[in-house]
Amino acid sequence: MPVLAIDAGTTGVTALVVGEDGDVLARGYREFAQLFPRPGWVEHEPDDIWTATVAACREALAATETEPTCVGITDQRETAVVWDRRTLRAPRPAIVWQDRRTTGICDRLRSEEERVSQLTGLRLDPYFTGTKFAWLASEEPRVWSGVRDGALALGTVDSYVVARLTGGQAHVTDPSNASRTLLYDLEKGAWSDELCDLFDVPRSALPEVVPSSGVVGTTDPDSFLGLSLPVAGIAGDQQAALFGQACYSPGDSKCTYGTGSFVLTNTGSTPVRSDAGLLTTVAWDLGDGLVHALEGSIFVTGAAVQWLRDGLGLIDSANEIEGLARTVPDSGDVVFVPALTGMGAPHWDPHARGAIVGITRGTTRAHLARATLEAIAFEVRDVVDVMVEEAGLTVNELSADGGASANDLLMQLQADQLGVPVRRPQVTETTALGAAFLAGLGTGVWGSTDELAQTWALDRRFEPEEGLRDDGRHARWRAALPRAGRWTS
């Protein structure tokens, strides 16, 4: 009874066919274009996302003879999408979570920040969807009139993909995605009229909030590869990764190394608030109540490696960075602050921009490669340190996943910086795996989370080397951070 999982990420769509043992039977992948119309702006064409979704699923299904029993979806979360309810076409590009255009809106609403944080558990930052909808309401009145009269629907990428899968029959999202919009009341577990008014968002345009696991619609054969399958799992990518990593108990923690890096700790049925730069979010709802998480969202990690490849031409592929970085014993005192789209947790500075400090005549591309991997480890350490020191959580080990977790050097640097073991599963595409697990739970492929936990298998455990946590490298990183801060202001 295999499950089809769709992971609509920031740079491409991955489709996995997952078996009952949690093994990946087949895989498909398609990239789609990234649009950068102005400095600080990041957009996607929704039609490109849908085209990549169909192509990735076709590739995965062609590689296996078994037909899936259901579909699960995970997505890039805070990205804002608008589409026509009848034609399902988008009147404008999606505004991506990395986009910084709403910095001015956030600055103007700063007096409301305490109330917004109280209701949502989030920060008033351009990262989140509500600010992007507020920008559309202010700057694109023709689009917004269509939203107000009901012709256009609003949502995040999960809602858009479900609408396309079901031929427009379902307009839904789950609490893990809803809780990332700045429009969702964390305590009530519902859309907030107060927040919708603040960001000028018609509540009627928003999707229905449904549990993360359970059937919410059926794929339309005319729209989706001739298949009629129950859509039975939805979760934001980082919450799906937490679920796919079998972090089902309070205190279980994971970090996903993708375009950005995201550290999440399961806090159970009680939302844990942070005054130190972390986010309180919904992890999932299996139909029996909300499970919460504390999150540190780092905007640019894997994207920094992409920038070395595409922007500077220092490497030909992302996989080359480990070998290049290993040719030098250290970064030669070079520090890279990859605030290419501002700083996320725990610093939260939308005005920050990237900086490379400490360059000399002896600096080589290998030193820059090493400094990039070290920066990722330092950023994650900053988040975990806050969780441990200020939020009162205990992190005894960190489960790692995502594309960059295949980098052994990065995983060892991370263990050394945290001073705790880092464990990597055999299946590192845990965002898609989590979506498959949620859908399978919702249709009876698996009977419980205990059964799912038995499918988790260790690939490698990285033990920290004594003395490296306090060898001065992190202190040098902390000294470099202010040099990148508040640059655009």
pLDDT of residue 12: 92
Q: Which residues contact residue 456 at a Cβ distance below 8 angstroms, ignoring those fewer than 6 apart? A: 22, 245, 246, 425
Question: What mean pLDDT comes out for the span 207-227?
Answer: 96
CA 278 to each of CA 294, 346, 390: distance values in angstroms, whole numbers, following the listed order: 7, 6, 10
Q: Which of 156, 164, 348, 375 is nearest to 261 (CA)?
A: 375
Burial 395-408 (b: 16+ CB within 10 A, else e): bebbbbbbbbbbbe
pLDDT tens readout for residues 450-466 = 999 999 889 999 999 98
> What does residue 23 show for φ and ψ, rounded to 5 degrees?
-90, 150
Query: CB atoms < 10 A from the CB of 332, how many?
Result: 17
Residue pair 374/413 in contact by the 8 Å Cβ criterion: yes
Residue pair 419/425 in contact by the 8 Å Cβ criterion: no
With bands split at pLDDT 50, 70 and 90, how would you rate the model's confidence at 391? low
The Cα 165–Cα 154 span in angstroms is: 16
Residue pair 445/455 in contact by the 8 Å Cβ criterion: no
The Cα 449–Cα 417 span in angstroms is: 31
C-alpha atoms less than 13 angstroms from C-alpha of 309 in its C-beta half-sphere: 12
Mean pLDDT of the chain: 93
pLDDT of residue 467: 83
3-state secondary structure of 155: strand
Q: Which amino acid is at 277?
A: G
pLDDT tens readout for residues 320-366 = 999 999 999 999 999 999 999 888 888 888 889 999 999 999 999 99
3-state secondary structure of 287: coil
The Cα 83–Cα 151 span in angstroms is: 9
Reading the block at residue 425, the tokens are 């599963």
Residue pair 305/405 in contact by the 8 Å Cβ criterion: no
The CA-CA-CA angle for residues 194, 197, 203, to 5°, reads 90
- pLDDT at residue 489 tops 80: no
Residue pair 50/161 in contact by the 8 Å Cβ criterion: yes
pLDDT of residue 66: 86
Query: CB atoms < 10 A from the CB of 168, how many?
Result: 18
Question: What mean pLDDT comes out for the span 177-186?
Answer: 96
Residue pair 400/430 in contact by the 8 Å Cβ criterion: no
